[in-house]
Structure 1
């Protein structure tokens, strides 16, 4: 009996740490737009900002790539998929989408990813999910509709919507691939190594897409306006690279290992709320009453989905990962 209580306590602790990491990842990702917008307004092309973000992060993570070079031999498909989908795909398709449809609409479509993850788990992996998890997804997506005020943009470009949906599918790939190998015990691929090589792959792909040799590098030597305050452009870029990319991806992948793809995906919906709040405080883009209500609904949906998973080792349908995955996470924490 004392052993059972110890395992239960450890499981709750791991779940709490995973939730904290997921929220931290959402905060870090949410701050990217606030830092990137002044750079874009200062004259940088959006794709060039994305290239700087991914390439800079890849250079920071390069020592980890060298340390985990064995992954090139043991997990080449995982590294390629993570780089193409989780890094280059999400960002490239999203920026292409917002060139044709309103940003709010594109963001809403992209953050249908948690619902798509739930569908992946239920219909592709054929694993049961709780009704509470499904309710949490519905609430989160409905809240996002209010946060981005989807009703303000009703003239849709069909191809733009397809691009945004492609970004959502790539985000599903990010969450699913982040969970790969988590039930392999000591043979599970190191998440830091996967991120490092994913960023390297993403940098190569984005180099071909964005063609940075035509970028106006002089913008980085000047300042960029942030709601009337001049901020060094290099400082904004450093934030995007170190916090909004390196820290965001590391905490995001580790949180998926401790929670599950679908639960971490729902918590990631907080990114839209956080981005809106930061834009309000730092850029002067004020929130409306529907956005505030929508943010509260997103928080409620994320909480319901996260708290819907039963105790570790339970045999009932779960919103989290398989018992084997959870035992692996528990062993890693130990």
Structure 2
């Protein structure tokens, strides 16, 4: 599925943010029941990839050359966009507050603006700068001003690595598909990323524990697999396909700004399903994020992340460099 209009791309991007935003409300009961973050993430990624696999095979129609041409793009997505982002985020929250780690990771849109500024040597349009200010202000209000505090420098470094991984995800997702459907791209990246996460868990490099009892959710007791399946299908399979589709249509910068709505949806689902309080300041923060998105959209994409930089992601040399870092 390829989307040509900006309005349709925005709609799909919002769907992706909404889907990603459900993850916290459904993952939290698993973590509270004794699941390690690695186990929960590995399960959601593997199941999400397997759910997409049949649709991906149909979309390929035997055109395996399309997948082969995009092999380095898939590898970068799996290693950087899926594995590194998740691993470094959970490494960060071992020593710094979750709110702080989340705030830093979600500054990925500002990183893209900065890189585009540095590589094109053109100052971003005023609307982009205004939108960035609005978006950051909105993030602070939704996540909580307490996210800004003195923290452990190692945890801070891990959070910044997660931010780089998140930004890389949007850059890779926005690359022209060259015949590979978003479903096939998402499925291959998730399956490969899930296998790598599982290998890290099995070898003991990351903790891999799980429990299998009933869990409380929205006031009722449900089997452990219900929230896991919801996270895998909605927050992973649908979310990644929507995010990749939107990034191709909107470009990495605008798609990354729309993705900030994830924190707004996460707060809403936590209120609806977990009974967590929804503060007026969070609603104001959501409005500021919307204002930031509108400003960035109005600015256009003349200073978008340069295509010449994106082309490096599919070169064998770049792929070899990424693999060497592992």
Matched, 1:176 2:167: no
Q: 2:87 aligns with which of 79, 86, 92?
A: 92
Q: Contact between 2:21 and 2:262, CA under 8 Å: does it hold in 1? A: yes
Which of 12, 20, 38 is residue 21 of structure 1 equivalent to? 12
Per-residue CA distance 1:198-221 (angstroms, 9 max, x = gap): 1122112201222399855551xx
* Aligned-residue offset at 1:318: 5.3
Candidates 69, 72, 75, aligned match of 2:70: 75
Instruction: Tell me, yes or no, if the aligned pair for 1:48 and 1:212 is still in contact at 8 Å.
Output: no
- State the 1:45 CA deviation: 0.9
Map of 1:133 onto structure 2: 128
Question: TM-score, length-normalised on structure 1?
Answer: 0.82
Would the aligned equivalents of 2:117 and 2:303 in 1 still touch at CA under 8 Å?
no
Which residue of 2 is the match for residue 102 of structure 1? Answer: 97
Q: 2: CA distance between counterparts of 1:153 and 1:135?
A: 21
Residues in 2 aligned to 1:209 and 1:278: alpha-carbon distance in whole angstroms: 31
Check the 8 A contact 1:260/1:321 in 2, yes or no: no
Contact 2:34 2:210 in 1 (8 A): no
Cα distance change of structure 1 residues 56 and 135 upon mapping to structure 2, 3 Å threshold: same
Please report how far the alpha carbon of residue 178 of structure 1 lies from its aligned counterpart in structure 2 after TM superposition. 0.8
Which residue of 145, 149, 157 corresponds with 1:154? 149
> Contact 1:22/1:255 (CA < 8 Å) preserved in 2?
yes
3-state DSSP class of the match of 2:64?
A: coil
Q: Answer with 210-219 or 74-83: which moved more.
A: 210-219
Does the aligned pair in 2 maintain the 1:39–1:233 contact within 8 Å? Answer: yes
1:126 positional shift: 5.3
Q: 1:278 aligns with which of 269, 274, 282?
A: 269
SS for the counterpart of 2:84 is: helix
Structure 1 distance, partners of 2:251, 2:210, is 41
Structure 1 residue 155, shift from structure 2 partner: 4.0
Matched positions, count: 300
Structure 2: tracts of 5 or more residues without a match = 311-326
Larger radius of gyration: 1
User: Per-residue deviation at 1:153?
Assistant: 6.1
TM-superposed CA distance for 1:57, in Å, is 1.3
**How far apart in 2 are the matches of 1:232 and 1:52?**
15
